[in-house]
A and B are shown apart, each in its own frame.
Chain A
Amino acid sequence: MRRPRLIRQLMATTLPVAMLVGSGTGVAVADPMLARNMSAYGMPGGIDTPTAEMLPDGSLGATLSWSDYARRGNVFFQALPRLTTVLRYARVDGINDYRDEGFISDRSLDLRFQVVDEQGWRPAVAVGLQDFLGTGVYSGEYIVATRNVTPTVRASVGLGWGVLAGKPRVIDVQDQGGTPNVDQWFSGGAKPFASVSWQVNDKLNLTAEYSHDRYYARYSDGNEYQQGDEPGSKFNFGASYRFGRNYEAGIYTIGGETIGAQFTIALNPRDAAFPSGLEPAPAPVRPRPAPAQDPEGWSGSWAQDPTAQPAIQTALADAMAEEGVRLEAMALSPTQAEVRLRNQRYISQAEAVGRTARLMTRALPPSVETFVITSTTDGVPTSSVTVRRSDVERLENTEAGQIAAASTLTDAPAHVPGLVRTDDLYPRFRWSIKPYLELGIFSAEDGLTHEVGAEARASYEIMPGLIATGALRQRAFGDIGQRGPGIPGERGEYYTPEEYESSPDLETTPEGVPRVRSDTRMYTGNSSPVIPELTLAWYAKPAPAVYTRVTVGLLERAYGGVSTEALWKPANSQLAFGAEINRVRKRDFDQLFDFRDYEVTTGHVSAYYEFTQGFTAQLDVGRYLAGDKGATVTLTREFANGWQVGAYATKTDLSSEEFGEGSFDKGVTLSIPLGWAAGQASRDRVSTNLRSLSRDGGSRLEVNGRLYDRVRESHTVDLYEGWGRFWR
């Protein structure tokens, strides 16, 4: 039985008070040696050199740095207490490629692992890989030790290879990049580096370092480039200033002549402005009167009255609606009540369940002792929390783990005898017209692009589980224009839309791969209205732990057709399996009702596993949009407050050459609940997918309503993770 372990975990967690206060200066006991300033590479460190410091666990942020050598946008994430990762987009000055612009755009990824933390006389020691996917301008490795010399002075000494030793590796111009060159790691001769940082006060930090990096790049075609000016000396100096809870600004000099500046914003999922949320207090429990005061209510004879249930259901539905929960249906007997709810407001399902339990004590006659609170999503029941009313009365406003231990979680059957649907819920028509803003942030070649317009969206829930959705968009302005894919062999050149549309054979690359995503830009920049989505979806639960979805219509911007999915996910299981099969046809670039010639059957079988420490893993094996076969591995870290940070990689049977730059598809996903940032209860999120490039290999259909994330919200791991909000 897994539940008790989860509940124990729920009840045993402690946190130093500093984390609850959220003060930037408070050092948490659980974290290893923490950074006091960021390097120009978006890592804890000196200026160019690394240190063995870490960031507070879960920290997510960005460091932007400017100098004559490069402009870098670094996105960092402390994936584990001792593992720091950085994804970097750099404009490296002084290097010419086919574009002949005097700079190149470069993506790179770093990892740092802290082997041991500082203890007594022993310094903290870390090992790191810089720009390790393929050989790039920043490729290098290091081992570094950091130690506090006095409470305010910290020193680091390390050994560096590659650029850190001033011996840049030769970059293979033919290489598509994206795969680690393990045989080059820690090779080519090492040189020492060192840094000292002085924390002058809470805000100001001064840093000096000794670095061998000479900002030089060598290519296999014989070209060699000096980025900026060659540093005049090996000594660099910097100052950084922290302000507010989340910001740091710094200036530095490299080799005495080149000046740089940087700015960092760091967020920590543990550091919310309003951790308990600003939503109104729940209606409190109303204990039952003594039996002598309400003999009829306690006897259950009220159930004979046919008007009792409708009146109770209406009152309960109204009260629940006030608190952001929809009462879909109710089954009422003299001793037991089952309510089926749809949570429309809270990021934690437990809060919806807890509020409903309290409202039930206020609405139901005293003889009803057993509460069955069933969560539904898209009209389909997903799980039931069964709790005794006496326990709700007894345990109100106690440690959340107690009510978890007193309740049980089970699968919810699709049909229950006596279930009465709440009046006037279906059919339900909803519409809205809103402005939209689309941003292209991480395109190295285009910089920041945007599009603004209006979107009309409507949904029609015909009956529970059957829902029609449509959207219509009109662009107003923006600089995301229509464009064909890049011309093969002529990097930096693109087909014009007219060229691309007039010759259908261009829709296959010279390597024979159908263009399923690399012509994405053909779907943008329409000045007439477009239909991003127009679907009819049917959700069902044919067996106790089996969920299904069928979606037909214009599924996404570029594809229409039929998408079907089945998921096996028992409420108490950390393991789930799914299968998805889609038959889709490529939509025409005007995004209306016409289709192009490409048609494909794509699908996957998937395995999902939720670890109890906030990690989820997913493996998909199947056939992708271009007809290529392969697998995707996704690892996501998630917090009880709804933060999700994940990384995925897809490898298919396309060769690196067929795939193109990057060799295989990989990316990072971020999702931050708005409620975490604003304090207002809301299920909305800000999500983004930092994908390396729009490539054809390893691409999947982007259909809405995939089952797994919707179903598991009310299942064992996700539900109990957020259980602390039961009495909220």
Chain B
Amino acid sequence: MSGTKRMRAVALSLVIAGLAACGNTGPDEGGSGPISVLARTATDTIMSSRAAQPAAPARTPQEAAAEALRVNPGPLIQVGFEGLGRTQVLALAGQNGAMRTYMTPSEEAVILRNGMLVGTRGLGRDLSVAEPGTEGLIRAGQSGRGTRVMRYLSGDGLERPLQFDCTTAPGPTPGVLVESCEGHGVAFQNNYLVQSGQIPVSRQWVGPGLGYITIQTLRP
């Protein structure tokens, strides 16, 4: 390689290094290759951590709830994602019969049927759908047995069911019903505050990836 050629190569490589892919191709329109997807993931991560920083330390969950109630006139819930270590206010995004989809501003969803967890979306290790055979017992505040099926997208891309044997019984706190489930080497307990068939407050197990969430109805 001659001197000028080497100079040119160095100059060119500097240009390339500074060249964060440009063009009018949207993020979805393929061919972007590994580098750009990883760059996009990194950018998203940085942006989200930046976005989260100013808000998070300043506000307690109570303050966040108060502000959401002031700003948003619709139904609201507050959800504590124990596995993710954050608490967020979710607003009603849609209702289909008794099933309600609540979403965070960044479009992560928690789906409830009259307070009972049906599924989650956008959290990475979501619950696709829960089929609690104990629902009647829980709403009636009765002790009994039932089967609960929880379906998940597994890593290989298939929807897989997990089946649990559950018992319901009143808990130590008056008005709280406890559902204890076991299966596949896992045991978990869901707690529901039942008030005339409605469940305004609960702590429910989402799945092996996300753990428990606590749900509090801010405005029904």
- What residues make up the interface of A, taking CB atoms closer than 8 Å to B? 10, 13-22, 58, 268-287, 324, 344-345, 348, 393, 396-401, 429-437, 452-454, 457, 474, 476-477, 527, 639-643, 674, 676, 678-680, 682-684, 686, 721-725, 727-728
Contacts and interface: CB of A to CB of B under 8 A. Distances in A.
Interface string B112-127: 0000001101111110
Contacts, number: 240
Nearest to A726: B159
A433 B121 CA distance: 35
Interface residues of B, number: 73
Contact of A476 (B9, B125, B128): B9
Given A271-B155, A640-B158, A721-B157, A397 B119 contact: yes
B37 A279 contact: no
22 contacts: A10-B158, A13-B160, A13-B161, A20-B162, A22-B209, A268-B155, A281-B121, A344-B26, A396-B99, A397-B99, A399-B128, A432-B21, A432-B32, A434-B19, A453-B12, A457-B31, A477-B12, A527-B9, A678-B37, A678-B38, A683-B30, A724-B153
Interface stretch (B72-80, B101-109, B139-147, B212-220): B101-109
B28 interface: yes
Contacts of B36: 434
B129 A399 contact: yes
Contacts of B33: 434, 436, 684
A533 to B, nearest CB: 11
Interface string B29-69: 11111111110110010000000000000000000000000
A537 B78 CA distance: 53
Contacts of B30: 344, 683-684
Contacts of B118: 397
Given A281-B121, A397-B119, A275 B153 contact: yes
A431 B160 CA distance: 41
A679 B45 CA distance: 12
Q: Which 7 A-B pairs have the closest CB atoms?
A: A432-B23, A640-B157, A724-B159, A284-B94, A641-B157, A280-B107, A281-B109
Interface centre among B15, B22, B32, B184 (most CB of A within 10 A): B184
A284 B91 CA distance: 13
A479 to B, nearest CB: 12
A275 to B, nearest CB: 4
Interface centre among B19, B128, B161, B163 (most CB of A within 10 A): B128
A279 B121 CA distance: 8
A45 B144 CA distance: 50
B152 A284 contact: no
B172 interface: no
Nearest to A456: B23
A686 B162 contact: no
A535 B154 CA distance: 40
Interface centre among B28, B121, B129, B209 (most CB of A within 10 A): B28
B16 A431 contact: no
Nearest to B5: A527
Contacts of B109: 281, 284
A433 B21 contact: yes
B37 A674 contact: yes
Contacts of B124: 273-278, 679
Contacts of A436: 33
A721 B35 CA distance: 28
Given A20-B209, A273-B124, A15 B154 contact: yes
Contacts of B103: 281
B26 to A, nearest CB: 8
Contacts of A274: 124-125
A678 B38 CA distance: 7
Contacts of B151: 399-400
B196 interface: no
A105 to B, nearest CB: 28
Contact of A640 (B121, B152, B156): B156
A287 B97 contact: yes
B128 A727 contact: yes
B157 A348 contact: yes
